[in-house]
Chain A
Amino acid sequence: DQQVKQNSPSLSVQEGRISILNCDYTNSMFDYFLWYKKYPAEGPTFLISISSIKDKNEDGRFTVFLNKSAKHLSLHIVPSQPGDSAVYFCAASAKGGSEKLVFGKGTKLTVNP
């Protein structure tokens, strides 16, 4: 039973355009959400996060939006750059737990020059 779902296995965009990666979750106890970026043969690298008390968090080219009623979050990258090509994982953590992260299956983003 996937508690965090990334329904798009891959996404291809042109350099300079916006990339939008989506994530849905089912567990109402999740109160913190993170996006990680992963290059081949490396571990995931933290990108940006958002608390459930917010609906938007921005860091440079990266913005995460949270819609709690829809149990949906999205990561916007604008403008997209070829170096952004990687696998992006959505992750969530539940309050009161061990701070373990529950990950989606990832979306492979390709930014074409």
Chain B
Amino acid sequence: GAGVSQSPRYKVAKRGQDVALRCDPISGHVSLFWYQQALGQGPEFLTYFQNEAQLDKSGLPSDRFFAERPEGSVSTLKIQRTQQEDSAVYLCASSLAFSGTYEQYFGPGTRLTVT
């Protein structure tokens, strides 16, 4: 079946612009995660949804970052007034809830470059 898809794959934004990144999880996956991966680092957790409920947003770096999943499937990560330090790859992952294995399936990521 289809895996996790993300769009756009690449985004260049000028400093101060708003951006919206989209994630389509695997059909039927209840849990959805967003991670940020800076160059040379591992992915870092941003936020977590179970269906449409955002249960953990402890990793969002500032109030410029906002995520939503209104119908429990597609999710959007929005970054307002982008800064150069926001340049990174944004990864979306989904998983079956309560599977006991914590295995998450990742999309290809969106590479955001803020100039």
With an 8 A cutoff between CB atoms, is B77 at the interface?
no
Which residue, B4, B41, B42, B109, has most C-beta atoms of chain A within 10 A?
A: B42
Number of interface residues of A (CB under 8 A): 25
With an 8 A cutoff between CB atoms, is B72 at the interface?
no
Number of interface residues of B (CB under 8 A): 26
Q: How many A-B residue pairs have CB under 8 A?
A: 62
Given A43-B107, A43-B108, A49-B103; A99-B48 close (CB under 8 Å): yes
With an 8 A cutoff between CB atoms, is A41 at the interface?
yes
User: Interface 1/0s, chain B 48-80, versus A by CB < 8 A?
Assistant: 100000011001000000000000000000000
* Contact yes or no, A99 B95, CB < 8 A: yes
In Å, the complex CA distance between A43 and B37 comes to 10
In Å, the complex CA distance between A45 and B107 comes to 9
In Å, the complex CA distance between A46 and B55 comes to 24
B residues near A, CB below 8 A?
4, 31, 33, 35, 40-45, 48, 55-56, 59, 91, 93, 95, 101-109
A residues near B, CB below 8 A?
4, 6, 32, 34, 36, 41-46, 49, 89, 91, 93, 97-106
The contact sample of 20 A-B pairs, CB cut-off 8 A, is: A4-B42, A32-B101, A34-B103, A41-B108, A42-B109, A43-B93, A43-B108, A44-B91, A49-B103, A91-B42, A93-B102, A98-B55, A98-B56, A99-B104, A100-B48, A101-B43, A103-B42, A103-B44, A104-B42, A105-B41
